[in-house]
Structure 1
Amino acid sequence: MDTKTIEYLNLRRKKLRLALEQIRFRDKATQETKNTIKNRISAKLEEIDGMIKRLEEFGIDKMIVDAKADYQKRREKKDAAVRETNTG
């Protein structure tokens, strides 16, 4: 298990949670903007938690393979959406 990677991910999680708390008290943003930002941060937190879990279970090599596969799937989905937008 790569402890430096887990430490980094835990630090990243703390920073995202802090950002989430700060958003709750920000007056300038509209409620819709706040909700959008909260959703993005929550998604990142879930992603980081998943990375930590995979690291602990399988180790760094398995996580890299999974991350590459996830990226490829997202890229293909994005490319398909762009093609559909361009043709339709």
Structure 2
Amino acid sequence: MVAAGSMVAAVEGLQTRMAGNAATSQKLTERLAQTIRSDPDCLRACQEQIEALLETSLRQAQQPQHSITMEAKNISEGQDLSTTPTDVRDINI
């Protein structure tokens, strides 16, 4: 489900705003849902959560250098931080 939702989100992100974009996305969602034997609405909800998480992560990455300094300080204090680009512990699906 997560992989299929990621694929739809990636395709939508790569497509430019042209006529028929929504129809193409809907067809892709329906086809992938059929392939993984899932409900298209559940797949769309998963995709939307992935997009929201990505948007939040990108906003955090654009924060000023002060937050990076604080993160370095937290690492030196021994906090457990994930080494993945998006901390999988923050995903609520």
Structure with larger RCO (C-alpha < 8 A, sep 6+):
1
TM-score of Structure 1 vs Structure 2, range by shorter chain: 0.3 to 0.5
More helix by share: 1
- Given the two structures, how large is their TM-score scaled by the length of structure 2? 0.39
